[in-house]
A = this chain, B = another copy of it.
């Protein structure tokens, strides 16, 4: 079975938003083993939508629509499909009741516009919308399968995952399962990683291995097809071993792990508390750790010391140190790490200082970053980065590097890896 995804919406053609729905649906279809051969975006225009449907019917078995199910007069997806297929639109009582109750609960009348959202293509299976008013639909007709989904991602994504996916899998009916697993790498560039595993990439059949780079990290997505979940996993694990034998030193996590989440795991596992003193990153490091649920007893807090005076006043760093070495120095980073650790009474302290850019800072060229790590009473460890990017990219990369480097330091010191 192959698929085409048609996103309906003039805001996409005006460049106001990116077509993240097509990306999401494509990933989901890939997991089901359904090939996607085309994405199409068309505006809120009945003629052009009809034309796009005709083209899709000739080249795809499964056509998935996103958008155009709302209450306004620009919403015309199901009307256009109904007319094209010669099917009436009928009222879905469950959807209608839900919409009526929604407005009643807010003491507002329901307009005719809103009512039309409860219409569905006759003969279609309704896909319930638990996050909005317009139901989705799945319809089989004349050898094609049509799925209609609402435009807003927070409605489309759960509807596809929890309503459409199982129905689609049942239609596929070929008994095989697809499993995917993503390996995450840090500290190696995309071109270099692909080069090292080139043989694996060139000779892939089942499982497939797909590289992807983003934000200074690289991932490899392994997807296996087999008769059952257990066998699919065996294929995946075997391919993972092959890959890690080559580039394992850069591997830090799986799937939706992040450098921050892995660091927090290591800290929690070893019952360590952490604080940070941040200058250029200005709270971003602590904020990233705080995104991880369960970090409560681990991240105690920290300071942002954005000026040299703040470093002296708030952290008790010797004024003479700053006069001699400057704020963009290993000495300053190490002192920040040690001082914040003592002040907050934590096991680990991190100090981040530097010239984020675009200007030089305290005599150091833009992109010069110093990181300090204070672990217990040991002498602080200092590390220098020389980054090339824009100001905010440098801040983000500093945070990522700090997470990765600290994890390595902790493991070197004998703390348990996960």
Q: Mark A266-288, 1 if CB is under 8 A from B, else 0.
A: 00000000001010111111110
Q: Which of A167-175, A296-304, A376-384 contacts B (4 or more CB under 8 A)?
A: A296-304
Q: Which of A9-17, A80-88, A94-102, A230-238 contacts B (4 or more CB under 8 A)?
A: A9-17
Check if B43 sits within 8 Å of A41, measured CB to CB. no
Chain A positions 299-319 with a Cβ under 8 Å from a chain B Cβ: 299-307, 309-310, 313-314
Whether, in the assembled complex, A40 has its beta carbon less than 8 Å from a beta carbon of chain B, the answer is yes
Check if A286 sits within 8 Å of B300, measured CB to CB. no
Q: How far is the CA of A282 from the CA of B301 in the complex (A)?
A: 7
Q: How far is the CA of A163 from the CA of B343 in the complex (A)?
A: 54
Interface size class of A (residues with CB under 8 A): 35 or more
Q: Which of A23-31, A122-130, A244-252 contacts B (4 or more CB under 8 A)?
A: A23-31
Check if B303 sits within 8 Å of A302, measured CB to CB. yes
Check if B287 sits within 8 Å of A283, measured CB to CB. yes
Check if B37 sits within 8 Å of A39, measured CB to CB. no
Q: Which of B39, B304, B345 contacts A303 (CB under 8 A)?
A: B304
Copies of this chain, tallied across the complex: 2
CB distance from A263 to the nearest CB of B (A): 14
CB distance from A285 to the nearest CB of B (A): 7
Q: How far is the CA of A283 from the CA of B286 in the complex (A)?
A: 6
> Given that A15-B23, A26-B15, A212-B17 are known contacts, is A289 also in contact with B282, CB under 8 Å in the complex?
yes
> Given that A13-B36, A310-B344 are known contacts, is A304 also in contact with B282, CB under 8 Å in the complex?
no
Chain B residues within 8 Å of A291, by CB: 391-392, 395
Check if B23 sits within 8 Å of A210, measured CB to CB. no
Whether, in the assembled complex, A19 has its beta carbon less than 8 Å from a beta carbon of chain B, the answer is yes
Chain A positions 32-82 with a Cβ under 8 Å from a chain B Cβ: 35-43, 45, 48, 51-52, 55, 59
> Given that A17-B23, A307-B300, A310-B300 are known contacts, is A11 also in contact with B212, CB under 8 Å in the complex?
yes
Q: How far is the CA of A29 from the CA of B14 in the complex (A)?
A: 8
Check if A358 sits within 8 Å of B293, measured CB to CB. yes
Chain B residues within 8 Å of A36, by CB: 13-15
Check if A15 sits within 8 Å of B11, measured CB to CB. no
Chain A positions 340-373 with a Cβ under 8 Å from a chain B Cβ: 343-345, 358
> Given that A15-B23, A306-B301, A314-B343 are known contacts, is A282 also in contact with B287, CB under 8 Å in the complex?
yes
CB distance from A361 to the nearest CB of B (A): 9
Q: Mark A214-243, 1 if CB is under 8 A from B, else 0.
A: 100000010000000000000000000000
> Given that A39-B13, A41-B39, A212-B17 are known contacts, is A282 also in contact with B299, CB under 8 Å in the complex?
yes
Whether, in the assembled complex, A20 has its beta carbon less than 8 Å from a beta carbon of chain B, the answer is yes
Q: How far is the CA of A15 from the CA of B303 in the complex (A)?
A: 40
Check if A304 sits within 8 Å of B306, measured CB to CB. no
Q: Which residue of B lies closest to A23 (CB)?
A: B18
Chain B residues within 8 Å of A285, by CB: 283
CB distance from A368 to the nearest CB of B (A): 16
By a beta-carbon cutoff of 8 Å, the part of chain A in contact with chain B is: 7, 11-20, 22-30, 35-43, 45, 48, 51-52, 55, 59, 210, 212, 214, 221, 276, 278, 280-287, 289-291, 293, 295-297, 299-307, 309-310, 313-314, 343-345, 358, 391-392, 395
